[in-house]
Structure 1
Amino acid sequence: VYASNLVWRHKLPQITSLLGVGLVALLLVFYFASRDSTYAWFAAAVALASFANLNLHVQDLPTSTRVWARGIQLAICLQPIVFAIFVHRFLGIERPRTERAFAIAAVVLGVLAFAIPDRHLLRFFTVLLFPAVGLCFYLIVLLLMRIHALSRIEMAHVILACMVLAFLALHDALGLSGLIPGEPRFWSPFVLPIVVSIFGSVLTIRFGRMLRRAERQNEELERRVREKREELEGQYQRLRDFEREKLLTGERQRIMREMHDGLGGRIVETLAMVEEGDAGTDEIAEALRASLEEMRLMIDSLDPMIGDLPTLLATVRERFERGLRRTGVELVWEVDDLPELEWLGPKGFLNLLRILQEAFTNVTRHARARRVTLRAVVHPERPSVEISVEDDGRGIAASTIRGRGLGNMRERAAAVGGEVEIESRAPGTRVRLTLPVEPTPSDLP
C-alpha cells in the first residue's frame, strides 16, 4: 500500500510536472513560429497544471507554507479559466465579454486567495471546484455547438478531453466533500498527462497541417513569381524588340529622306544635264563630284567614330577643304578647345554637317569669295558653342536670307536646340550657329 501510494502521489506527479515543463517549451516554440495565440494559452494552462503538481512532490518549499498552499490552490482554480480561453482560440470563437468576465474572475480569485483567513481557505477552494466543473460542461456544450468547425480527428480528441476533465474534476470535488468513502485519492494530478496526450496530439496535427499549407502556399507563390517573371521578361523582350524596330525604322526613314533630298536630288540634276546635252564635261564632272560629296556626307553621318563635336569639325575640314581649294577659295581654320557635345547623337551631327555644307556651298556658288573662315569658340557665360562661317565675298541679298536653303539651315539648327543667324556684311556674309553646351530635354534630337 505504501509503495502504491508513493508512486501514485509522488512519482507520477513528478513525471507529469517534467513533461509539463517540456511541453510548455515546445508550445512556446510553436507559438513563436506561427504567432498563433492558441499555443500560448495552452502553454499557460499546462504551466498552471505543472505548478499545481509541484505540491505533491516538492519538500523544500521556496516560500512560507501559507503562501505556497494558497498559490497552489489558486493555480488549480485558474486552470479551467485559462483552458476555456484556450478552447475559444482553438475553435476560433470571439467572445470578448466572456473573456473579460474570466479575467475579472481570475483577479478576484487572486485577491481572495491571499485575503481569506486560513480557517476558511479549504472551504473556499472546495466551493470553487464546483464552478470549475460547470465551466468544463460549458466547454463541452461549446464544442458541440461548434462541432462543424472541427475536423473529425479534432472533434473526437476535444470531446474526449472535456469529458475526462469533467469526470476528474467531479471526482476530486466529491472526494474533498467527503462524499466518497474511504481515503480519497485525488486524480487532478493526472489531468496534465491526459490533456497533454489529447490536446498535444491535436495541436501537433494542426501545426503539421499549417506547415503543409504554408509549403503549398510557398510553392504557389513561387509558381506565381516564376510566371510573373517570365511574363515580365517577355514584355521586356517585346519592348526591346519594339524599341529596336522603332530605332531601325527611324534610321531607315532618315536615310531615305537624306537620299531623296541630297544624293537623289544631285543624281536627278546630273541626269537632266546629260539628257539635255547642253552641259559640258566639266559641268557634268562637277555635278558628279557633288553627288559623291553627298554620298560621303551621308556615310559620315552613320560613322560611329563621329561621336563628338571636334571629330565632326575635323571631318568637315577634310570634306570641304579640297572643294574650296579647287574653286580658288582659301579656308582659314580658327577652332578653340571645344566640348564634345555627345548628346547630339548621329542625327544631330548630321544636321550640323548639313548646315555647314549649305554654308560652304553658298560660298562656292554665290559669294565669289577669296577667303572663308570657320571659327568655333565657347562662350562660358551662357554657356554655349558658337560656330561661324564667314567669307569676304559680295554678300547676300535680303530676299536670299529668307530663301529655302537658308530656311532649312534654321530648321536643322532648331532640331538640336540651336540658332542660326545670317548676316550680310560689307564685304562678305557670315553664318553663325549657336549650340547649347547642356541641352534641355526638348533639345535632344
Structure 2
Amino acid sequence: MQPGQRRWLCGLACLAVAAAVAGGLSASTPEPRVQRLTEAVLTDHTQPGAPTKTVSLPDAWEHTAPSRDGRASYRIALPDDALATEQPALFLRRVGNVFRVQFNGEPVLSVGELRRPLPNYGQEPHLLRLPRHLVRATDNELVIDVIGEPRREAGLSSVWVGPAAGLEPMYEWAMNLQVRGAWVLTSTSATLGALALLVAWRTRQMVYGWFGLGNLIWAWRVSALHLHDPGPWAAVLHWMFELSYSLFVACMGMFLLMLVQRDSPTARRWIAAFVAAALTLSLANAWFNLPVLRTMHLLMALVVTVVTASFLGRHALAQHSRTGWLLLAAALTGGVFGLRDWITFRVLRDYEAYTWTRYAILALMLVMVWQLVEDYARSLAAQREATRRLQAALEAKERELERIYLERRDSDRQQAVAAERDRLLRDMHDGLGGRLVSAIALVQQMPAPTGEATALQELRMALDDCLTELRITLDSLESEQHSLGESLAEMRFRLEPSLRAAGIRLVWNVHDDALEARLPAGHTLQILRIVREAFTNIIKHAQATVVWLTLAREGETLRITVLDNGMVQRAGTGQPGPLSLQGGKRGMANMQRRASLLGGEVEVGPHPEGWCVDLRFPVPLPCDAAVSPALGGAVV
C-alpha cells in the first residue's frame, strides 16, 4: 500500500471515531421532561384598573369569579429547560369558552370567534406545537387570553410544557376520554334508548320506556357538552343541561325500581318530588347564578342514587338473584362515580378533571342487555312450554278423535249387525214362525187315526216345543237390550203353559241385586238355552211336581239354579231315576259348551231336594256388555 493511501485511510478512521464520539455524546444528552405549570399572573380585563394577581391553576371561573363576563389574561413564565428540545409544545386539558395564545409576544393560536353568545370549546383538550424560531434562550413567556361568559364553565386548566413527543400521548388519552369516548357513548346511548322505547311500545312494558327515555336524555347531555355554537339558545341549553342530570337519575331510578317491582306509589311520589326540587334549584341557579345552588342540586341527585342503591341492596339480599345483584352493582357504580365527581368538581373545584359519571351509564346498559337476554330466555322457555302443551293437546285431541272414530265405527258396525239381525228375526218370525203356527193348527184340526193318537200328540208337543224355542230365541236376540231378569221372565211366560200341562208348579226366586244384570244378547241366548234344556228335561222325564228357579248374585258372579223334586217323587214310588239330561252325555256336553262360552261352569246332579242344574258365570264388564258377541250356534 502506498504511503498516500495509508494517510487517506488514517484520516477516514479518525473522522469515523469522531462521529461516533459525537453521536454518543448527543445520545447521552437527556430529553427535557414534561413539566406542569400551576401558577399564572391574572389580569382581569372585565374590571378596568384592577390589579394583577397571582392565581393557582386550574382556575374555574364558576367558583373564583361567577359573574365574570369578558376577557382575562393569564401570563405564565415558561421554564427554559422544558423548551430545550427539537419540538417544544404546550398541552391544555381545558380552556374556554374561547381563547387566544401568545408566545413571546407572537400570536400562535386562536380558538373560537368573538361574538355573543360565545362558542364554547372548554370541553376539548388542545396540543400546541410552539414555533422553534420563537424560543428564546431565557425569559420565555406565555400569555393566554380567555374570553368567557357566566354559567358557561369558563376557565383555564394547568399548562403542560415540554417535548411534543412526551405531550402527544397525554393529548391522545384526553381526546379518547373526553371527545371520542363521548361521541361513542352518545351514539350508543341514543341507539339503545331508541331500541328500548321501541321494545316498550311493542311490549307495553314501561320499565323499558323509562330506560329508553333516560338513555336519550343522557345522549343529549353528553353531546351538548361538545356543542361549540349554541346560538341564541345558550342560556336555555345550559339550564336544560343542568336539569338533565336529575331527569336522568329519576328515569333510571324508576327503571331500576320497576325492574325489581318496588315502584310503589310512595316511591313514585318521592321521585316526583325530587324532580320538582331539581327544577326549582336549576331555575334559581339560572336566575341568581349561585354555585352553591348547583352544588346542592348535584348533592340531592347523589342522595337519590344512594337511596335507590339501598332499595336494590335490600332486594338483592332478600331475593338472592343475579339480576338483583347486578342492579345493585350498577346503582353502586353510579353512586361512587357521582360522589367522586361531586367531590372533585364541587368541593375541590378541579377545573381540569374529567367526569366519570358519564361512563356510569355503561353499567346500566349492561343491566339492560342482561334484562333483555333474561326476557328473551323467559319468552323462549314460555314459547317452548306453550308448544309442548299445544303438542300434548293436539295429541290428546288426536287420541280423542281416534277414539270417537273407533266408537263411531263400532256403533255403525253394531247398527249394521242390529239391522241385519232385525231383518233375520223378521224373516224367522214371519217365515219359520208362521209355518210352525200353521203346522200346529193343521195338527190340531187333523183327526187322530186309530192307534196313532199318541204319535199325533207327540208331534203336536214337538211342534209346540219348536215354536217355544223359536220364540225364546227371537226374544233373546231383540235389538233392544233387556236385563237377565226380564229375559228369564219372558221365558217363564213361554214355558208356563207347558209346565201347567205337565202338572208342575214353578217357584220363582230372583234376588234384587241380580235382577238388573245386563248381558250381551249372545250371553243371554246361551243362558236361556241352558235353562230351557233343564226345563225340557224336567217336563219330559223328571215326573216332578215342583221346580224352583233361583237367580242370585255372589260378588262378581251370577248363579242360576233349576231344582226339581222329581227324583224325590220317584224315590217314594220305587221307580228308577231318570236321565238327568235329554240325550245323556250329549246334553251334558252341550250345556258345558254353552257355559264355557259364558266363561263359567255348570254342574248337573242329584240334590237333597231332588235334581239340580247349577250354572255359574262372571258378570261381564260394562264395555263388554255393550258389545254383543256372536256366541254360539244352536245345540241339538
Query: What SS does structure 2 have at the residue aligned with 1:146?
Result: helix
List aligned pairs for 1:37-436, cutoff 5 A.
37-61=206-230, 64-107=233-276, 109-110=278-279, 113-114=282-283, 117-120=286-289, 122-148=291-317, 153-181=322-350, 183-196=352-365, 198-241=366-409, 243-245=411-413, 247-248=415-416, 250-252=418-420, 254-255=422-423, 258-259=426-427, 261-272=429-440, 275=443
Read off the aligned partner of 2:233 and give its amino acid letter.
S
Read off the aligned partner of 1:167 and give its amino acid letter.
V
Read off the aligned partner of 2:342 and give its amino acid letter.
A
Higher helix share: 1
- CA 1:262–1:111 in structure 2 vs 1: closer, same or farther (change >3 Å)? farther
Structure possessing the higher radius of gyration over alpha carbons: 2
Q: Which sits farther off after the overlay, 13-22 or 3-12?
A: 3-12
- The alpha carbon displacement at 1:73 in A equals 1.6
Instruction: List alignment gaps of at least 5 residues for structure 1.
Output: 280-445
Q: Which sits farther off after the overlay, 184-193 or 79-88?
A: 184-193
- The alpha carbon displacement at 1:114 in A equals 4.7
CA contact (8 A) 2:218 2:244 kept: yes
- CA 1:118–1:94 in structure 2 vs 1: closer, same or farther (change >3 Å)? closer
CA contact (8 A) 1:49 1:79 kept: yes
Deviations 1:47-103 (A, max 9, x none): 221121121222343871122111122211111211111111211224122113323
Tell me, in whole angstroms, the C-alpha distance in 1 between the residues paired with 2:231 and 2:261. 39
CA contact (8 A) 1:21 1:47 kept: yes
Name the structure 2 match of 1:36. 205
Read off the aligned partner of 1:224 and give its amino acid letter.
A
CA contact (8 A) 1:10 1:56 kept: no
CA contact (8 A) 1:91 1:149 kept: no
Residue identity over aligned pairs, in percent, reads 14
Read off the aligned partner of 1:211 and give its amino acid letter.
S
Tell me, in whole angstroms, the C-alpha distance in 2 between the residues paired with 1:77 and 1:147. 25
Higher strand share: 2
- The alpha carbon displacement at 1:28 in A equals 3.3
CA contact (8 A) 1:17 1:53 kept: yes
Q: Which sits farther off after the overlay, 184-193 or 166-175?
A: 184-193
List aligned pairs for 1:8-47, cutoff 5 A.
8-32=177-201, 34-47=203-216
Deviations 1:84-125 (A, max 9, x none): 111112112241221133234435544664576433465433
- CA 1:28–1:213 in structure 2 vs 1: closer, same or farther (change >3 Å)? farther
Tell me, in whole angstroms, the C-alpha distance in 1 between the residues paired with 2:409 and 2:394. 22
- The alpha carbon displacement at 1:131 in A equals 1.9
Tell me, in whole angstroms, the C-alpha distance in 2 between the residues paired with 1:209 and 1:150. 19
Deviations 1:310-345 (A, max 9, x none): xxxxxxxxxxxxxxxxxxxxxxxxxxxxxxxxxxxx
Query: What SS does structure 1 have at the residue aligned with 2:191?
Result: helix
- The alpha carbon displacement at 1:215 in A equals 3.2
CA contact (8 A) 1:168 1:187 kept: yes
- CA 1:221–1:107 in structure 2 vs 1: closer, same or farther (change >3 Å)? farther
CA contact (8 A) 1:31 1:40 kept: yes
CA contact (8 A) 2:338 2:357 kept: yes
Tell me, in whole angstroms, the C-alpha distance in 1 between the residues paired with 2:291 and 2:422. 104
Deviations 1:230-266 (A, max 9, x none): 3421442244145425533652564355335533443
Instruction: List alignment gaps of at least 5 residues for structure 2.
Output: 1-90, 92-125, 127-170, 448-636
- The alpha carbon displacement at 1:46 in A equals 1.4
Deviations 1:350-402 (A, max 9, x none): xxxxxxxxxxxxxxxxxxxxxxxxxxxxxxxxxxxxxxxxxxxxxxxxxxxxx
Read off the aligned partner of 1:218 and give its amino acid letter.
A
- CA 1:151–1:259 in structure 2 vs 1: closer, same or farther (change >3 Å)? farther
Tell me, in whole angstroms, the C-alpha distance in 2 between the residues paired with 1:125 and 1:231. 74
Tell me, in whole angstroms, the C-alpha distance in 2 between the residues paired with 1:63 and 1:162. 37
Read off the aligned partner of 2:415 and give its amino acid letter.
L
Deviations 1:182-214 (A, max 9, x none): 633222222233432x31342243133223322
Read off the aligned partner of 1:174 and give its amino acid letter.
I
Tell me, in whole angstroms, the C-alpha distance in 1 between the residues paired with 2:216 and 2:409. 67
Read off the aligned partner of 1:127 and give its amino acid letter.
M
RMSD of aligned alpha carbons: 3.2
Equivalent pairs counted in the alignment come to 278
Tell me, in whole angstroms, the C-alpha distance in 1 between the residues paired with 2:231 and 2:367. 31
Tell me, in whole angstroms, the C-alpha distance in 2 between the residues paired with 1:150 and 1:16. 32
Tell me, in whole angstroms, the C-alpha distance in 2 between the residues paired with 1:244 and 1:159. 70
Tell me, in whole angstroms, the C-alpha distance in 2 between the residues paired with 1:172 and 1:156. 24
Read off the aligned partner of 1:103 and give its amino acid letter.
A
Deviations 1:203-230 (A, max 9, x none): 2431332233223323322233223323
